[in-house]
Amino acid sequence: MDPQRASEQLTAIRELMERPVKYSTQSGLSGIIAGLAALGGCFADFYVSKTWPPEQAIPINIFVWAGVLAVAFGGAVILTRLRERRQGMPFWSNVKKRILRTILPPFIAGAGMTAAIVYREVVYPHGPNMWGMIPAVWMLFYGVALWQIGEFGVRELRWLATAFLAAGLVCAADFHTCPYLTMGVTFGGFHLAYGTVVCMRYGG
C-alpha cells in the first residue's frame, strides 16, 4: 500500500475513534462557570461605567471582559482536560487542532469589530453612538464559533449557537436596548441553561 495513503487512512481511523468520545468529555460545569463569569462582568461593567468617566471606564472595562473571557475559557479547558484524563485521552489531538482552526476566525473578527467600534467612539465621540452594537457583535460571532464547534461537540452546542445568533440579530436590529440586560440574559442566562442541561445529560 502507498505510504501516503496508509497514513491518510490511519488519520481517518483515529478521527473516527475520537469523535464518539466528544459527548463524554464535554463539561457542563464549564458552561455554568462561563455564565456566572458573564453575570459578574455585567455587574462590574455597570459599576465601573457609573463610577468613572468614560476615558477611565473604557480601559477598565476592557480588562473586566478580558478577565471574563479568561475565566470562561480557562474553566472549559481545565474541566474538559480533567474528563479527558479520566478516559486516558491525550491533551492535543487532530480534533482539537480542527476546533482551533475553526473558532479562530470568528473570534478574531469579533475582537476586530469590537476594537473598531471602541476606536470610532473614542476618536469621534460626537458621531453616532455605536456602543450598543458591541453586545450584538459578540453574540453573532460567538454564535458562529459555537455552531462550528457543534460539529465536534454535543448537540446542545448547536442549540446554544442558534440562541446566540437569534439574540444577536434581534439586538442588532434594536441596539439601544440595555446592554447589561442583553448580556446578562445571553452570555449569563444562556450559558447557565446550557451548562445545567449538559450536566444533567452527560455529567459535570
The span from the CA of 109 to the CA of 137, in Å, is 9
C-alpha gyration radius of the chain: 19
The span from the CA of 129 to the CA of 179, in Å, is 13
Asked whether 141 and 171 are in contact (CB, 8 A), the reply is: no
Residue 129's nearest CA partner among 137, 117, 140, 138 is 117
Asked whether 41 and 186 are in contact (CB, 8 A), the reply is: no
**Could you state, in order of their start, the residue ranges of all structural domains in the chain?**
27-202
pLDDT score of 27: 77
pLDDT, mean of each 10-residue run, the chain (204 residues): 60 52 67 95 94 88 94 89 77 75 89 89 75 90 91 85 94 82 94 92 74
pTM of the model: 0.80
Q: How far is CA 162 from the centre of its chain?
A: 13
pLDDT score of 23: 45
